Structure 1
Amino acid sequence: MIFWEAALFNPDPAAYLPHRYPFLMLDRLLALEPGVSARAERRVTDAPEAFPQVYLIESIAQLGGILAAQEQGEGGFLATVDHAEFGGQVLAGDTLTIAARVVKSFGRLALIEGEVTCGGNILAQARMTLGIGRL
């Protein structure tokens, strides 16, 4: 198992995704093992109304897209959310840790499981299918 640390890969999610502010839900990649698992973080600077819980699912999907894509910039799209649970509220000033792992890959699809935590508390968990590449 090889984790690429920040010095060995581009930690900027914008290098991998077409999303830009305000729709880019990740600030920095912390660890990336392509096709296996990844971790990222997001510092919430807006009021709680500006960061709905559904954005936590989007954060997992974006990290999953980076994780499952084969090349920088390849990206992907959210096909389905099979399961999602929410466990807390996001507040301004929170630093979120997003984790995702590939459960299974099949062709240009990947089954992803992920969670968002803050201070050790689970704020969201989801299982989703992502399509890799452009539509």
Structure 2
Amino acid sequence: MTARPEAPAKKKFSYSSDDIKRMLPHRWPMLMIDRAHDVVPGVSGLGVKAVSVNEPFFAGHYPDHSIMPGVMIVEAMAQLVAVVYVAEIIEAPESEAAAGDPSESVGYLGSISSMKFSRLVVPGDQLTLEAKLGQRLGALRQVSVRAKVGSELAASGSLIVTTGRKA
């Protein structure tokens, strides 16, 4: 029996908050991801969202029992998806990446399905985000996402994102 040659390992990248600001069009208070690591461009990645009591949504959700809104957890996961997608553009050979501002390629969230929330997220928690890009459906992309606090699952589901912005 002959051994099959192994596929070459895909290179993984890490991005700081400053890198992410160059990759995404989002700004405070809507920039929901602090760091990304183990990003395989166009395939998958991990991200970090440090949940602080100073987040503006905690003023009203809920004043006496601070809970990170589920829609903000989904937004953080969607922003990680955008980082994984944009990484494919910026990590391409120089000739392909020179075509303007990569944040302009960030599309929109088109669908949220089978999203389940299984743990409250509160100030002081650190969300570990996971995104795995699936198949392309024309200008759409299917994605599996998860958010954890430590080893506990906080949220998981599927997203459909657009692969660009159309006016």
Which category describes the TM-score, using the shorter chain as reference length?
0.7 to 0.9
Name the SS for the 1:113 alignment partner: strand
Distance apart, 1:76 and its partner CA: 1.1
Pair 1:64-2:64 in alignment: no
Aligned residue number for residue 98 of structure 1: 129
Query: How many aligned positions are there?
Result: 132
Aligned residue number for residue 130 of structure 1: 161
1:82-124: CA deviation from partner (whole Å, max 9, x where unpaired): 2200011111111110000012123321100010001110000
Pair 1:21-2:28 in alignment: yes
% identity of equivalent residues: 27
Name the SS for the 1:24 alignment partner: coil
Aligned residue number for residue 37 of structure 2: 30
Distance apart, 1:50 and its partner CA: 6.4
Distance 1:33 1:110 in 2: 16
Pair 1:52-2:63 in alignment: no
Q: Residues 57 and 126 of structure 1 are in contact (CA less than 8 Å); yes or no, is this contact kept in structure 2?
A: no
Give the number of the structure whose alpha-carbon radius of gyration is greater: 2
Structure number having the greater helix percentage? 2
* Higher deviation after alignment, 117-126 or 52-61: 52-61
Gaps in structure 1 of 5+ consecutive residues: none
Q: Residues 115 and 156 of structure 2 are in contact (CA less than 8 Å); yes or no, is this contact kept in structure 1?
A: yes
Q: Residues 17 and 66 of structure 1 are in contact (CA less than 8 Å); yes or no, is this contact kept in structure 2?
A: yes
Aligned residue number for residue 5 of structure 1: 13
Aligned residue number for residue 149 of structure 2: 118
1:49-100: CA deviation from partner (whole Å, max 9, x where unpaired): 4621221111111111222344232211101112200011111111110000
Distance 1:122 1:3 in 2: 27
Displaced runs of 4 or more, over 3 A: 47-50
Structure number having the greater strand percentage? 1
Q: Residues 103 and 113 of structure 1 are in contact (CA less than 8 Å); yes or no, is this contact kept in structure 2?
A: yes
CA RMSD between the two structures: 1.7
Distance 1:49 1:86, change over 3 A: same
Q: Normalising by structure 2, report the TM-score.
A: 0.72
Name the SS for the 2:76 alignment partner: helix
Corresponding letter in the other structure for 2:153: I
Higher RCO by CA contacts (8 Å cutoff, separation 6 or greater): 1
